[in-house]
Amino acid sequence: MQPTSKGMRTQIGLFGRRNVGKSSLLNALTRQEVSIVSDVAGTTTDPVEKPMELLPLGPVLFIDTAGVDDIGALGALRIAKTRQVFDRADLAVLVTEAGTWGDFEEMLVNELSHRGTPVVTVVNKADLFDGDDPRLALPEKLRSHAVVVSAATRSGLDALRESLLASVPPECLRPPMIAGDLVGPGDLALLVVPIDKEAPKGRLILPQVQTIRDLLDSDACCMVVKERELRAALDRLKTPPKLVITDSQAFLKVAADVPGEIPLTSFSILFSRYKGDLIRQVEGATAIDSLKPGDKVLIAEACSHHPIGEDIGRVKIPRWLTQYVGGSLEFVHYQGHDFPDDLPSYKLVIHCGACTMNRREMQTRIRRCAEAGVPVTNYGLVIAYSLGIFERALGPFPAALEAYRGKQ
Ligand SMILES: Nc1nc2c(ncn2[C@@H]2O[C@H](COP(=O)(O)OP(=O)(O)O)[C@@H](O)[C@H]2O)c(=O)[nH]1
Ligand code: SF4
Ligand SMILES: [Mg+2]
Is-cis flag, bond preceding 194, omega within 30? no
Residue 249 Cα to ligand 1 middle (Å): 51
Cβ count near 344 (within 10 Å): 12
Which residue type sits at 381?
A: L
Residues in the ligand 1 pocket, defined by CB under 6 Å = 16, 18-24, 37-39, 44, 67, 124-125, 127-128, 150-152
Dump strand ranges (E) for 129-214.
146-148, 188-192
Mean pLDDT for back-to-back runs of 10 residues, the chain (408 residues): 84 92 91 61 70 88 79 66 90 90 87 91 90 75 80 94 93 92 97 85 90 97 97 96 96 96 98 97 96 97 67 88 94 93 97 94 96 97 95 98 91
- The pLDDT, as a whole number, for residue 48 is 86
- The pLDDT, as a whole number, for residue 100 is 83
Nearest residue (CA) to ligand 1, atom 8:
21
Question: What are the structural domains, with CATH classification, of the chain?
Answer: 6-173 (3.40.50.300), 180-269 (3.40.50.11420), 277-407 (3.40.50.11410)
The answer to whether 234 and 258 are in contact (CB under 8 A) is yes
Pairing of strands 330-335, 348-351: unpaired
Cβ count near 184 (within 10 Å): 12
Rounded Cα distance, 92 and 97, in Å: 16
Of all ligands present, the nearest one to the C-alpha of 15 is 1
Nearest residue (CA) to ligand 2, atom 5:
306
pLDDT digits (tens, 9 = 90+) for 203-220: 888 999 999 999 999 999
Of all ligands present, the nearest one to the C-alpha of 152 is 1
Long-range pairs for 193-199: beta carbons < 8 A, 24 or more residues apart: 193/224, 193/225, 193/226, 193/247, 194/226, 194/227, 194/247, 194/249, 194/250, 195/226, 198/307, 198/308, 198/311, 199/308
Rounded Cα distance, 122 and 156, in Å: 10
* Residues near ligand 3 ion, CB 5 Å cutoff: 22-23, 44
The answer to whether 189 and 215 are in contact (CB under 8 A) is yes
Report the residue among 26, 37, 43 best suited for mutation to probe ligand 1: largest number of ligand atoms under 8 A from its CB: 37
Sign of torsion over alpha carbons 393, 395, 398, 404: positive
Pairing of strands 48-54, 58-64: antiparallel
